[in-house]
Structure 1
Amino acid sequence: MGARSAAQRVFSRPVVVTLFVVLVLLLGASFHSYRQDQELQSVSLAELRMASWNLAQLGHEADEFGHELRSMTTVAADQDQLLLQYDILWSRYDYLLQSRESAPTRNHSDNESRLRSLFSQLRAMETPLMALVSGQRVDWDTLTTQWQPQRVALQQLVVDNFVGDETGQLMDQVQASRERLSLLSVLTLVVVAVILGYLAFALIYIRRQSRIDQQTGLPNANYLQVLQSVGVGQAIIACEIRDYRVVLSEYGTDYAADLTHTFIDRLKVGLELYSFQLVQLSPSEFVIFVHTGDTGQLVRQLLASVHFDWMVHDAVLPVRGIFGIDPAGAGPIMDWQDRYQQAQRCLAQAERQGLDHCINNQDLRKQLMEERLVHAGLVRFLADEPSSLSLSLMYQPIVSTGDIKDIRGAEVLLRAWQEELGPVPPNRVVELCERFGLGRQLGRWLFRQIAMETRQLYTDLGFQGTLSINLNPAMLADELETDVRSLLLDAGIPASCLCLEITEDNAALNFGRINELIQRLSQAGVGFALDDFGTGHSSLEYVRELKIDRLKIDRCFVQGIEHSAGKARFLGSIIAMAEQGFLKSVVEGVENEAQWNLVRAMGGSLVQGFFAYKPLLFSDFVAEILKHWSTVSSDHTLEVSS
């Protein structure tokens, strides 16, 4: 029988109930015995005390009467004193036979019948004593002889009540009750001690079991709460089963549990050459404390062990583990919980970047530190508070292929500056906003800033181009329509001059929801474009499913077209596909004259790139528009993105 089975029996319900019942019975017996003892002491002993006192008084008063009776034969006899003692003795008998207080005395053994007999004999002496009062001559010897048997019987009554069998039995009962109570007290203490020991053992067992996962037998998350330290020479590894929730949702808990066991077994294979401690945080999350000086070798072994194909039903599922590693001796010495946090950060970083592992090093720590600075600055900046980070906009003109100076619009580029870091890449700003729930705040700031800077271009200068805005993921929500109307349209930007850009990643394949947003805003006159076409895995699907007006062709299709006829033909086919789908196309990344000439020859496109214009401040952008105002057509396009 295993230790677990034995523990289950020790802590089974019958054992617990039995101990409880035994304790209750002993406590009940002890209480009952205690009550009996108290009754014997408070009632029986009190009765005995009262009976003894009453009979003692009776004997004393009888002695006084006998003494006075004997003295009547002497010269110093006092008749009044004799009568007084007779009356006292008479009253004592009457009290013992009639009063409620004397009931214990009467009720003990045959006391009442004996008292009545003695009282009757005393009353028989009343006639000669009354003759003494009337002055008649009394035969004192006869009275003395009559009194003597009474005296002997009375003394015997007193002796019997003090040392008789009934009194001895009463005392024996008291002693037996005390012995019984003492024994029960000892037994109760023994049982209480056993139960306390049992409870102490149960507490230790439960605390130990609370730190052990019942399914796998591994230390669980509670184990980390009592962990005091981790050796400097130990690496801390946070691990997770990728797509575990997919298995759980598709195949159920039994198969998910089987996957967990299989994954653990393979983890142990990868760690078999090391001294390690494996802790299970959840069915799909683990922490490993392992002694190693070669983190790279350890990671290779772990990846080889936990990257496998898992059979379930007739399907083969690729199982992958993700690792975040804080290696031994990485960075300054710090508390193990801080190191554990670093490992978790590495794990999160690996998940965000789609990697199978991430190792804590100086570059990563620098990156995380920079992200914290940028995030803190964003929070304050977007709350309109003094901040170490500032955001601004730049405009890169978009031109017609027919004339490089024919400005049809501009892409508005987000710029960020942090006091300690200097310029911050815009994509990092957007990613941090999305990660920490600031995406919509960033979008609303962008709308307000664009409206503030470009409003006069429409109201005062009469510009008729289209304003297109690149949407970050958080902006693709039901509130988008409200934000566009309140922050852009109400500010004076015509709806027909707006085109909102959606990237492939932002659409997230939820075409129904995205198309509902597009439809509502399209009814107001707002256009939509698909940005960075060709960078995703389902570009054609997005073109087919999304109700867009424009297609922005990524710079990756432009690079090298001047050196490769095949690349040039491929770009031309994309432009032609857009035309066949009644979509306007914008070719991004045209950087030199050769690329310009090739794209122009393909026809029907707008162009954006350094060969035409670099990003400009808004004032410079307006100056360029005014400079070429005479050549700007009525359908100019102003494109804005972040």
Structure 2
Amino acid sequence: MVNTTPALAASTGALDGDAGMLGNLLANFDGLVYRCLIDDSWTMIFMSQGCEALTGYLAEDFLANQVIAYEDVIHPDDRIHVRDGIYAALETNRRFSIEYRIRRRDGTVHWVWERGIGVREGNAYVALDGYIQDITQRKANEHALAEAERRFRSIFENSIEGIFQSTPDKGYLAVNPALARMYGYETPQEMMLNLRHLDRQLYVDPRRRAEFLALMNTQDGVMNFESEVYRRDGSIIWISENARTVRGAASEILFFEGTVIDITQRKLYEERIRHQATHDALTGLPNRNLMHDRLQQAILHASRAGSLAAVAFIDLDQFKFINDSLGHPAGDMLLKIVASRLTSCMRASDTVARQGGDEFVLVLHNHPSEASITDTVQRLLEAVAAPWSANGIELHVTCSIGISIYPNDGLDAETLLRNADAAMYRAKELGRNNFAFFSAEMSVNATERLGMLSRLRNALQRNEFLLHYQPKVCLKTGRLVGAEALLRWHNGSHGPIPPGRFIPLAEESGLIVEIGEWVLRSACRQAVAWQRAGAPPLPIAVNLSPRQLLRDDLLDVVEQALRDTGLDPACLELEITETVIMRDVEKSLHTLHRLKQLGIGIAIDDFGTGYSSLNYLKRLPVDKLKIDRSFVSDITTDPDDAAITRAVISLAHILNLKVVAEGVETEAQHRFLLENGCDEVQGYYFGKPMAHQDFAALLA
């Protein structure tokens, strides 16, 4: 405790003289200078003339507590605080500095700042020398600032808009809870800790972040800057940003600050409106207007690239019968099913549109040849013809397809559509479930079709069929690892007939069963002959037609062929398209498992063009997936085809399957497949289909 003994009173005379001197020196000093005793009332023994301006009392009123003691001027709520603060400083021999309130003579309350030091006599403090200044205005300013900050903080914390401060390259400096919630984080701190690289972690398109930074640097701000961004869970939303650049004294960028709103619902609504204007309401396919626009784009691209663009006009063969007999709901269901099947067969760059009624139009983009277009159309025919059920009845619906090609059959959209429509009627005349090109050279009229069917029935007896063999090569080693047997027909009076013309006819007529059995036996016999001539055992691949796979006697036919020829089952590989498997999944699974038990290899051909699910794929007893040539042909130019090819390779390896790519024709395709881990390849780059003598020379 501070000493307040009688020694203090004995010294008051000297202290009074000092106070008088200080009063003269500090008469014009802003504030109050004082000396007081350390007692219960802070008895003043000197106060400068600033006393009246500060307290409303004369200095004499306080001296010896004549009118009022200074303790009484201090606000009652602050007296203990003041005394404790002074005593604490004296006990540690420090100056004291305290802010507190006083009640002036007029009753108003003011804030003051007092700073002082203890005065010693010997070892004891006897008095205080100090200075008191009115800080009411400063306190008011601080309060106003605190209130403004509180209000801003309330706005910041409770705003429904996202608010942020960020740097060009170090993430966020501050974010409010609304922005954290918008981006899927529980707290702003969690968001700022995890989001450090906005270009990679936040923006779906990193170039959009680069555009934002460029605008902030050149224009010092953005308004309604729209971008797609990732939320924490990987989902994507649309945002709109308003922001400004905050610069330092040297015009350097200190940070950005702004607001963010979620505009995903608005974007979805806008997209829905655009979609309704350009798409068919029933099937969701592009309508006539959008199809016309896509066709014009395909023509322009084909003109620049020197490739082919094609229009395929599709009409359902039995739609009117189904619509009339089963009702419009069944008809609508059929249209949706057909739309889905057509879409599943197409590349991302192609367009499937509904023309109206039961008519569909395909815009085939950037095809290298008419053969490629033919392959696509054949897949479409198979896909549409797959069975479907309505009202408990299994139905089969086929279609007729007419094709026109740019630039051969027209130089503008209207001409190509008109000619494709005409070709479609030609396809119907050919017997439906068929396709026809508009060009006279490639169109098959009804008379020619009947004549071909007649010649086809006698082709086996006349030994007009032969097999060609296309090499399969291991990509890693470059070694020959197998061959695919491909059917060829050389008619005595008409010469070579392309498989695309006679195989669909054989399938439709049922002749494919007998022809397919001949192919199987001939391929097995040839494989044995090569081995007896000294060639190493190589798997020979044979394609199974839809009719063969679904027959109950397929297993017997295969076993008999192996017995009769003596071929090791391990040297036979059967290729089945996924579309064929999905026609009757359970029956296909049963048949394939029984074939697999014989030791035969099984491959899914044209993988990626059908509509099998992963659930079924993992159940299939297959050894290989063959990537369809429609994807391989564009893997070096079409990002979508490249991505699909990579995905198929990855999927196959996950399922412990090998991958074969067909239709490899260039070094660039070869290099792409090698770099992405494809196992085997076949195509003109490695060898065209060849007669058995030429293949034997290749083996040698």
Greater relative contact order (CA < 8 Å, ≥ 6 in sequence): 1
Higher helix fraction (1 or 2): 1
TM over 0.5: no
Higher gyration radius (CA): 1
TM-score by length of 1: 0.42
